[in-house]
Chain A
Amino acid sequence: MRKTSLDCVYELAKRDGRVIFIGSDLGPGVLDQMKTEMPDRFFMEGVSEQHVIGMAAGLAMEGFVPYVNTIATFLTRRCYEQVALDLCLQDLPVRLIANGGGAVYAPLGPTHLAVEDFAIMRALPNMTVVAPCDADEMRRFMAKTVDWPHPIYIRLAKGGDGIVSQERHGFEIGKAIMLREPGAGLFITTGVMAQLALRAAEQLSKEGLACGVLHVHTVKPLDHAALHAWLPNVHGVVTVEEHTRIGGLGSAVLECCNDEMPEQAFKVRRIGIPDRFADRYGSQNSLLGHWGITVDSLCSTMRKQLRED
């Protein structure tokens, strides 16, 4: 997904002279071809994220469309004020490509995990927050980024994620995709939690429980129309995110219910990361398991929801 995303930046840059790439201090060889062919639009600026965001803002004010890439937590926590004021307050078309959203960097510990990025990015007016589910979808999404007039936060997964999106789904920023039509239950996911939910839905179907998966790649602006269309027609909803349960997709869904269809809110249960810093290392999957974000927990939560109905 990461490679696809950066390859897309190169492709976009070849077609559009406004596209600029700025890394902080990425691994050797990143976008070498772009660096060689377009040296005046490839920048590796060093471990200076506050400056990088401001510089990207300055370039955007002059008509460029900068794509900034580094590790997710350093692109959110470290330079939050710059993201808020330089990008969002001035509403500039800068793209933040965030490596390792969620628990991708599990072995590196809590300093490197971006588990509240949706919450803090979503809280900023004008910001768009997108978490594609696989590399194919990333490609379809990236094509839409050049002309989007607002800042975008792009959450990348580990890479090598199973392909579950399809060409026929297309991609529109802010339009959720129904990966699997619901019966009684509906999982609402973002990012690579779509894969987990599809596996859970498959397992539940063997038990006679028909469940769908609504993939909300755009956490903000949230697709209220899709929620209005689907929530009244199902009996149980489970939101799934690789993110703290505070302020992410699940919260956004409940906010929508609270504001617009409070009678639906009781159907919704949220699965996400508990409110504590990571206290284990291991792998992304083992850490997700430690937090209770597994196919089994998705299934048991949905069963409970449907039983209670």
Chain B
Amino acid sequence: MDRRSKQLRKLIVQALESGGRGHLGSSMSLVEILRVLYDSYLRYQPANPNWPDRDRLILSKGHGCLALYALLADKGFLKEDEMLTFCKQDSRLGGHPERGKIPGVEATTGALGHGLPMGVGMALAGKIRHQKHRVVVIVGDGEINEGSIWEAAMSAAKHKLANLTVLVDYNKVQSYGSTREVLDLEPLADKWLSFGFEVEEVDGHDVKALEQLTRRFPLNSGKPAAVICHTIKGKGFPFAEGKSEWHHKSGLKPEEIAAMYEYLI
């Protein structure tokens, strides 16, 4: 893991430490995906977060918001020390991201299965108005248990939304246990293919591979795309990797926080 990935994770750990809680596992699997999107794909203006031509990113798996907050802080939408207000009473940064409160957050998410339908609406709006911006929606693997995701997928294909890309954070662990055990998603690529998407798979922690893939966006000029990002829940912290116990933690102990910092040196 390079310095930048560690630095972004450090922002997340600082927020976890300050808030005493958070979705560690669900955020850490997202870091490289968001890093590459914000470093080399998305068009945005931190000082003008509602710039009409910006690309729209929706974190549909809103519980991974610490990773999104870290990128928004890193890019200047937020001040870095605001991360320390995470989940405090008067903070803008709650346990799930809210539109209108946080600059750079396009849609309020948290209840699962909402982000993709809203993303379809945004992409459809762009298509109606012949606008150039792109819409990216990041969904979780547990999240796509929701039927609304597949309703939206059918609609995206019907409307040939080539301006829409769905990234699946496929860390293969949801709250209770493995996705295979809870509700098996396989064959996942075939599912998206059969729903009318152009499909790619990528190592969601391989920065170079992710960069190369985003350079090929849109993957197909006549249909929406789904990218299955193979990731590791809790990536970067061996004691948490792949463990559903670290999906969400409250009452984090000082020694657990200290152990996290150890891995970020």
Of all chain A residues, the one with the shortest Cβ separation from B116 is: A54
Contact of B119 (CB < 8 Å), options: A41, A58, A64, A82: A58
Residues of B within 8 Å of A89, CB to CB, are: 98, 108
B126/A50 in contact, CB under 8 A: no
Number of interface residues of B (CB under 8 A): 29
Given the known inter-chain contacts A61-B107, A63-B125, A90-B107, please indicate yes or no for A55 contacting B118, CB distance below 8 A.
yes
Residues facing B in A45-77 (CB within 8 A) are 45-46, 48, 50-64
Instruction: Say whether chain A's binding surface is mostly helix, strand, loop, or mixed.
Output: helix
Most chain B beta-carbon neighbours within 10 Å: one of A40, A45, A55? A55
A51/B117 in contact, CB under 8 A: yes
Residues facing A in B115-153 (CB within 8 A) are 116-126, 128-129, 147-148, 151-152
Of all chain B residues, the one with the shortest Cβ separation from A58 is: B121
Residues of B within 8 Å of A48, CB to CB, are: 148, 151-152, 154-155
B117/A46 in contact, CB under 8 A: no
A54/B114 in contact, CB under 8 A: yes
Residues of A within 8 Å of B128, CB to CB, are: 40-41, 64
Most chain B beta-carbon neighbours within 10 Å: one of A50, A51, A82, A85? A51
A25 at the interface (CB under 8 A from B): no
Of all chain B residues, the one with the shortest Cβ separation from A81 is: B111
Residues facing B in A19-61 (CB within 8 A) are 40-41, 45-46, 48, 50-61
Instruction: Say whether chain B's binding surface is mostly helix, strand, loop, or mixed.
Output: helix
A53/B117 in contact, CB under 8 A: yes
Residues of B within 8 Å of A40, CB to CB, are: 128
Within the assembled complex, what's the spacing in Å between the Cα atoms of A54 and B150?
Answer: 13
Question: Contact flags (1/0) for B81-121 with A, using CB distance below 8 Å?
Answer: 00000000000000000111000001110110110111111
- Shortest CB–CB separation between residue A51 and chain B, in angstroms? 4
Residues facing B in A76-104 (CB within 8 A) are 81-82, 85-86, 89-90
Number of interface residues of A (CB under 8 A): 26
B108/A90 in contact, CB under 8 A: yes
Within the assembled complex, what's the spacing in Å between the Cα atoms of A89 and B128?
Answer: 26
Of all chain B residues, the one with the shortest Cβ separation from A51 is: B151
B124/A50 in contact, CB under 8 A: no
A46/B154 in contact, CB under 8 A: yes
B114/A64 in contact, CB under 8 A: no
B111/A85 in contact, CB under 8 A: yes
- Shortest CB–CB separation between residue B224 and chain A, in angstroms? 13
Contact of B117 (CB < 8 Å), options: A41, A55, A62, A90: A55
Given the known inter-chain contacts A55-B120, A55-B155, please indicate yes or no for A85 contacting B114, CB distance below 8 A.
yes
Question: Contact flags (1/0) for B27-55 with A, using CB distance below 8 Å?
Answer: 00000000000000000000000000000
B99/A90 in contact, CB under 8 A: yes
Q: Which residues of B contact A (CB under 8 A)?
A: 98-100, 106-108, 110-111, 113-114, 116-126, 128-129, 147-148, 151-152, 154-155
Given contacts A50-B151, A58-B119, A62-B125, 8 further A-B contacts (CB under 8 A): A50-B113, A51-B120, A54-B118, A55-B121, A58-B121, A62-B129, A85-B110, A85-B114
Q: Which residues of A contact B (CB under 8 A)?
A: 40-41, 45-46, 48, 50-64, 81-82, 85-86, 89-90
The 6 A-B residue pairs with the shortest CB-CB distance, nearest first, are A58-B121, A54-B117, A62-B125, A51-B151, A48-B151, A50-B148
A-B contact pairs, 5 of them (CB 8 A): A51-B148, A54-B118, A57-B118, A58-B118, A58-B122
